[in-house]
Amino acid sequence: MFADKVPIMSPSPAFESQSNGAALTISDIGKPLAHTTFVIVDLETAGGKPVDAGITEIGAVKVRGGEVIGEFRTFCSPGVPIPAFISVLTGITDHHVADAPNVASAVREFLAFANFESGDQPVLVAHNAPFDVGFLKSACAKFDIEWPKPPVLDTVILARKILRKDEVRNRKLSTLAQFFRAPVSPTHRALDDARATTSVLHGLIERVGNLGVHDLEGLQTYNGPATEKRRRKRYLADGLPELPGVYIFYDGNNRPLYVGTSTNIRKRVMSYFTAAETRSRMTSMIELAQRVDAHVCSTKLEAAIRELRMINELRPTYNFRSRNPEKTTWLTMTNEKFPRLSLSRQSHLPDSERIAVGPFRNGSSAELAMHAMHQATDLRQCKERITSKSSISPCVLFEMKRCIAPCLTGAETVGYEDIVLEASSILNGNSSEVSRKLMEKIVTLVKEEKFEDAALVRDRMHALEDGVHRSSRLREITSIPLVIAAQANALGGWEIHAISHGRFAGAIVAPPGQDPKPYLLKLKGSLASDVGLPTLVSEVELILKWLGDGVTRLVEITDGHTWAHPIAARVRANELVGS
């Protein structure tokens, strides 16, 4: 059933160039095609639908680096008679499959040959893959065989993207095999067709290799040839570090175009100059780019935060965040003689002197929270600023005894300061009394069978509680002068971070097997003061997410302060750095 491992073709030039390392500038991006194992499969069937699993023959070729390393072929007993027109087309009759293994056994043997779950992680290839893969998956489902879910490449789709219409009249296997001068022609027999598909695959890989695609990810996402102008910009990546950090594209006038982050700066920047980069806005950006700067970072968290800061500071043209700044919505009170509630949008945390609740997930949630505050307090709801010269008439809320009308003079204004104090307390995080009042209102409305009204009050209560919770967390972390936390990395070392008043202040990595304590001391000695600088909401929330991911360890905190994330895994400092 298994044929000998006999090469049926010589390696293609695309694979040879990767194997000998000749002048390929992005061969290290993603998984190189030269190091990828492909399993090219073809099925013959008795007709019908994939759910019938009526497979009559399976043929497959396993290749790596342009060389055949194995072949597979077996007849299958489909469990149904083979129609005459199928026998005429394929030459396979009931006589051929009379003593063949059943479909379940044949599929299991094919999967064992392909070995998709090995560390090599082969890629499944077929011409018109939905047909062949559909029958294989249906057979697995029918006979209770686990489908390994390999990545799939379809040579029909690749040919449509790579070959021009004036080169081939269609994308049939016979046409493509002839175009690429395959040594084996398709015959509607499984192994012959798999061999022909192998030649087509190698021909397509050679074509995109000449266009700068040399890795699996690039082949999977290929969507047309890179422009010559873009490929000529590959020199911009010369000298960039193969380290984690942030990169910035600049135009000829030193204007920032785009800010990004990567675990390997050079690899990521090189990918912009290949056909794998298909975003139209990135194509336009690359044509303008004249320089790339790199800022190496110690950890992924540091890189992510520095990216946020640079985008906020530089406002690069091609970053979406620049066009839509991350301005969050807050619920606060106005600064006037008779304060009222107000919604404000900003990307930075409010000043410490200003009481605010948020940030809210969207403007609608902020509106709901404001309505909850109005239901629970008698804060005025009018929009006018009240001064000694104002001449404003009380609104209907005064008649409903929902406002003491500070717009009037005299005894009616007595008590508004108490209302403001109550509202300030809520905005400072003491919202339990509001929730109790609103819950009582919900119960009353439910008893009256006013379910829609009850649901609205519930939504308002939840929005206010969420905003109070989020602002309390932000206030808590930003009030602490210094928090040091650490997380073990994949290599067994420690990534140690310092957070000052909610802002990232520094990072250092203690290598595997090394005592982290000297690195911790070095980090503390290198921290620069940034007191007074505005703090991005997105930065603090990113830090809170990292601190609360369940694996980050709290190492040190400023004396006199306490902080506990609800899901953080915390240990004493000496558990990390020793007594």
Q: Verify that 212 and 146 share a domain, yes or no.
A: yes
Question: Which residue among 430, 448, 477 closes a domain?
Answer: 477
88-104: average pLDDT: 90
Question: Which residue among 323, 347, 376 closes a domain?
Answer: 323
Coil, strand or helix at 289: strand
Identify the DSSP state of 169.
Answer: S
**189 has a pLDDT exceeding 50:** yes
Q: Verify that 299 and 376 share a domain, yes or no.
A: no
Q: Could you list the beta-strand ranges (E) of 180-318.
A: 245-251, 256-262, 289-296
199-222: average pLDDT: 84
Q: Verify that 534 and 420 share a domain, yes or no.
A: no
414-426: average pLDDT: 82
Report whether the peptide linkage leading into residue 359 is cis, meaning its omega lies within 30 degrees of zero: yes
DSSP secondary structure, 499-545, as one string: EETTEEEEEEEEPTTS-HHHHHHHHHHTPPP-TTS--BHHHHHHHHH
Rounded distance between C-alpha atoms, residue 564 and residue 263, angstroms: 30
Rounded distance between C-alpha atoms, residue 322 and residue 5, angstroms: 56
Q: Verify that 375 and 242 share a domain, yes or no.
A: no
User: What is the per-residue pLDDT for 239?
Assistant: 92
Coil, strand or helix at 183: coil
User: What is the per-residue pLDDT for 214?
Assistant: 81
**431 has a pLDDT exceeding 90:** no
Q: Verify that 278 and 257 share a domain, yes or no.
A: yes
Rounded distance between C-alpha atoms, residue 483 and residue 506, angstroms: 11
Range scoring the smallest mean pLDDT among 2-6, 253-257, 419-423: 2-6
**203 has a pLDDT exceeding 90:** yes
347-364: average pLDDT: 80
User: What is the per-residue pLDDT for 205?
Assistant: 93
**361 has a pLDDT exceeding 90:** no
* Amino acid letter, residue 179: F
245-259: average pLDDT: 95
**576 has a pLDDT exceeding 50:** no
Spatial contact of 286 and 270, defined as CB atoms under 8 Å apart: no
Structural domains in the chain (count): 4
Rounded distance between C-alpha atoms, residue 419 and residue 137, angstroms: 67
Record the tokens describing residue 63, joined without a space: 């290749």
214-228: average pLDDT: 74
Range scoring the smallest mean pLDDT among 213-227, 367-381, 498-512: 213-227
Question: Which residue among 299, 323, 347 closes a domain?
Answer: 323
User: What is the per-residue pLDDT for 50?
Assistant: 86
**410 has a pLDDT exceeding 60:** no
- pLDDT above 90 covers a percentage of the chain that reads 41
Rounded distance between C-alpha atoms, residue 497 and residue 517, angstroms: 13
> What band does 30 get if pLDDT is binned at 50, 70 and 90?
low
C-alpha distances out from residue 31 to 25, 35, 37, 96, 201, Å: 14, 7, 11, 41, 17
476-505: average pLDDT: 90
Which range, 1-15, 399-413, 419-433, is most confident?
419-433
**345 has a pLDDT exceeding 50:** yes
**407 has a pLDDT exceeding 80:** no
> What band does 9 get if pLDDT is binned at 50, 70 and 90?
very low
What angle do the packed helices 363-376 and 451-478 form, to 10 degrees?
Answer: 100
**573 has a pLDDT exceeding 50:** no
Which range, 301-310, 353-362, 476-485, is most confident?
301-310
Spatial contact of 85 and 109, defined as CB atoms under 8 Å apart: no
271-290: average pLDDT: 81
Q: Which comes out higher in pLDDT, residue 422 or 184? A: 184
pTM over 0.75: no
Q: Verify that 336 and 308 share a domain, yes or no.
A: no
Domain interval for residue 268? 228-323
Q: Which comes out higher in pLDDT, residue 326 or 475? A: 475
CATH number, domain with residue 268: 3.40.1440.10
User: What is the per-residue pLDDT for 225?
Assistant: 65
Classify residue 370 as exposed, middle or buried by CB count within 10 Å of its CB (0-12, 13-18, 19+).
Answer: buried
Q: Verify that 200 and 288 share a domain, yes or no.
A: no
431-450: average pLDDT: 89
**1 has a pLDDT exceeding 80:** no
**143 has a pLDDT exceeding 50:** yes
**346 has a pLDDT exceeding 60:** yes
**570 has a pLDDT exceeding 50:** no
Q: Which comes out higher in pLDDT, residue 527 or 56? A: 56
Coil, strand or helix at 433: helix
Q: Verify that 364 and 414 share a domain, yes or no.
A: yes
Mean pLDDT of the chain: 83
40-71 confidence digits (pLDDT tens):
999 999 888 888 878 999 999 999 999 999 99
Q: Verify that 268 and 335 share a domain, yes or no.
A: no
User: What is the per-residue pLDDT for 491?
Assistant: 85
Q: Verify that 571 and 494 share a domain, yes or no.
A: yes
Q: Verify that 408 and 265 share a domain, yes or no.
A: no
Q: Which comes out higher in pLDDT, residue 289 or 210? A: 289
Phi, psi (degrees; rounded to nearest 5) at 530: -130, 35
User: What is the per-residue pLDDT for 19?
Assistant: 33
463-475 confidence digits (pLDDT tens):
999 988 888 888 8
Q: Which comes out higher in pLDDT, residue 225 or 256? A: 256
CATH number, domain with residue 180: 3.30.420.10
Consecutive H or E run containing 67: strand 67-75
Q: Verify that 433 and 523 share a domain, yes or no.
A: no
